[in-house]
Amino acid sequence: MHVLPLFGVAADRIEQDAGSGRLCVVGVFHEVRVPSFPHVVQSLGVAARFEISAEECGREVTANVALVDATGYRDHLDQRPRLTPYLQSDRPTFWDFALNLPPCTFKAPGRFHIVLRVDKQIVAEIPIWVVGPAEVGASPEA
């Protein structure tokens, strides 16, 4: 997979504008504050943009999104075939990847990564901190 990651974010949710078709990333964050553990976060979105090579345009790929904790435990949240965009003849081709994830359970505080793989290759890692009431403000600035 020949992709150049340009950005990746965690957000409250991803919406698509009915008129323009543009993606709207709502509530970008790097820290999740929860009242107690375990805690289920009902709404979590992930968005990333990649520049892709001509060879990657217009083909079906398998995308996998996983939530990985500090111990390396992976909770696979989504895996499905996706079609990459078709080649733009006179400019770079960009692939906007966006997904609203199913509810995520956080069993303890700590650093997590939302890991995006395309055809088994890691193409983006988005770090988030999950903190309880005592840890609020303890994570490093993004």
Confidence tier at 111 by pLDDT (50, 70, 90): very high
Output DSSP code: residue 134: G
SS3 7: strand
Segment 96-125 mean pLDDT: 91
Please write the tens of the pLDDT for every residue from 45-93.
999 988 888 888 888 888 889 999 888 888 888 887 787 888 777 777 8
- Higher-confidence residue: 128 or 97? 128
Per-chain mean pLDDT for the chain: 86
The pLDDT of residue 136 is 54
Alpha-carbon span 137 to 131, nearest angstrom: 8
Distances (CA, A) of 114 to 53, 92, 99, 111, 121: 24, 26, 12, 10, 14
Confidence tier at 6 by pLDDT (50, 70, 90): confident
Partners of 111 in beta bridges:
129
Distances (CA, A) of 33 to 65, 104, 130, 137: 22, 13, 6, 9
- Higher-confidence residue: 22 or 39? 39
Alpha-carbon span 24 to 97, nearest angstrom: 12
The pLDDT of residue 1 is 60
Domains of the chain in start order, with CATH, are 3-133 (2.60.40.10)
The pLDDT of residue 142 is 42
